[in-house]
Structure 1
Amino acid sequence: MRTPVLISEDQFLCSICLDLFTEPVSTPCGHNFCRRCLSHHWDTSAPCRCPLCKELFHIRPELRVNTLLSGLVSQFKQEAGSRSLQQQSRHMVEQRRQKIQELQSSVQLSQRAVDREKSTGLQAFSALIESVQRSRERFIQELQEKHRHIQTQAEALIQQLKQEICELGHFLQHCPALPPTGLKDWSSVRLKLETFEGTAARALTELRETLTDEVDKELQAKLKRVQQFTVDLTLDPGTAHVKLSVSNDLKQVYESTRRMFRDSPQRFLWRNILTKQSFSSGRFYFEVQVKDKTMWTLGVAKESVERRNNQNSLTSKYGYWCLDMTNIEEYFRAPQKVGVFVDYDEGLVSFYDADTADLIYSFTDCSFREKLFPFLNPCYCDSGENSAPLILTAVKKCSLSLARPS
């Protein structure tokens, strides 16, 4: 059985152009070159030299195509093309298998998120349902107790009346001529009826207060859960707009009346500043004090956001997931401290009022494919009206106040 001969691409390369032969021709010394390459190498005059072995030819050789080599080159190109197509096909198959795994993994992640939220939600709803049931039972019990009180009074009076009727009957039998004496005058006797008006309203009011407390407890518990992912952040002055002033501890930022930095390609033309820390997986949480400010924007931005385009918009379309004061005006109160929670793998960005534990807004189903940086934008100073700084604050996990505005 003959052993197959392995042919490499190098055997079909022209030593002049270093590419596969095109119309290969042979010299009398036995070397092969592309017709065009050899024609350009030799001028029209003799003598000529072989470009490879330098053999001298006093008469320019007549160049004829090496049909055997030409056929081998053609076969090699076909086989190479077939191998390339096979590799491409295998690569496409592998891509699709990876995409199937990615989609299956996404479904599994989604199911786990559903299970977690379902468990938490069912506990909360169970507590609310129990509160409603207790309130309903108290409402019915109160009505029944009021009715029993009236019924007891009526039964006592009826018993007295029956007793007197018996006495009167006995008296009439034995002393029909004498008028009865010592009998009670029943003409003014009335039952003092309890009022039931407002009982349902009071019960519903109490239920509303109870449900509010239960909801507040659940909101507080939810915020405490996300606060477990608190990270310590510091601002990166190298990304700050030239007129932003950054504190020495890298925790505070506000607009200055003068240029604080030299401009560079890494700086924003907006009044943005990123943190030094970035995140490309998992969950994280941080809080920013916005007290005494009339304008601000904060959230997270992807690493590739355009920093030098002053016309850019702070929206998810351009790689920003953020909250700003103009949005908050639609909220029932302006927060003093904002908490930001990000679940990179689930594509979630949530903003909380860190003092009341209220969820302000959530971006869901986000697609994060690169690093995320927390960012702050204190906005314009506005003639001193908005001069207060934005402050990265330490998270106080057990100091939530459930007080609500009137």
Structure 2
Amino acid sequence: MKRLAYLQQQNPHWREEADLTRYFVDAAHASIAPAVCSTPLLAWIAYGEASLWRMLCWMGLFWLVEWRLILVIRQCRQHDTHPLSVYQYYPAVRDCLLASSLLWGGCIWFMAPVQPDPAYQMLLLLWVAGIFALLCIMMAACRDIHVLFFAAFWAFPVFSLLNGGKRLELLALLGVSIYLLSQWRFVRGFQQTLFDTVQLKHANQNMMDKLVEMHVQATMQRVSLEENRQALQMAVAEGERLLECDALTGCFNQRALRRQLDKYAADSIASGSSWSLSILDLDHFKQVNDTFGHQAGDAVLEQLVQKVSQLLPDGLQMFRYGGEEFVVLAPAMQEAELAACLDGIRQQLAVSRWEALPASWQQTISAGVVACQPGEQVNHCLQQADLALYAAKHRGRNRICLASDLVDVPLKRFSHSS
């Protein structure tokens, strides 16, 4: 870690340099097979012209260097998990390639003809120049070995031409010098191009990482906003439910009743069909409060809501109208159907056990049922149901009375607690 921190401090572009080093190692690995295969071809060209023992000596040294290069590159690839590993094996790879370059340049001496042959020497020189061009491409990524590479490759060819060359060889030397200058300029420019390409790749990668991070953050924020929206929606729904719920019994209150009455009235006008509602009341509820206390009365109201809610068919709703009076809405039932349904519930309640009351106490209910016609005012429907309830009380309680069965309005009105 200390070495990495030092590397970051000394070279701010160490990541780009590491990528170029990897490129150099990959290129060196790719060059092994062509180099090993080309040496027999070069020996075939030199066969009959050069000394056999020199050729065998050169090929042995060259293959030994290439074998060493294979081992170093294999180790480098096995441990290439961190940029520092790249720098750890880079010197060994570089040394092998410099040794290989020295052998390529020295092949002019190893493959030198036994008898002077200018045409063969020029062919050998062109071969070396071609190999040099390929190695320049391969080594362009690492600028710190350019001078060593040029010197190692061309040291012996230039020395050989200067020392024993004639006019043709000197002209070739002049061409080689011009060629070296052009290659030098190409290698320097190509290395910078590679560096800029790698730097652009890192910049693009950093941008993609930031975009991915922004996308992840935006997704998390969107999920959080959606969760907050759902929580707020649930809180609003819960608030509306609490506003429309009776605090004691838990059933819907008068606020919810008014909203549902208006809705069913509008639906009735749209469909042209009638619907029904009922007002039910606990019989002798005042005696419950006076005899057993208001807490017992509250418990009876809670149990009433629980029992009736369990017995009501699906689609029917129960609302607390006030005191011990409750309203049941049946948007899909006729008057007689609702009356029959409530009469069954009435019979079950008459034989039910009430926890807050003695076992011998029989708690009954009375109810009035009315059919609501399309366009009829809901207040008028409630008034008719209330009159039917009074009629049920007048006729002895513990019964269901239909508003359509009323001939005249009862002269005597009973209190709601009676």
Q: Give the TM-score normalised by structure 2.
A: 0.26
Based on CA coordinates, which of the two structures has the bigger radius of gyration?
2
TM-score by length of 1: 0.27
Between Structure 1 and Structure 2, the one with more strand by share is 1
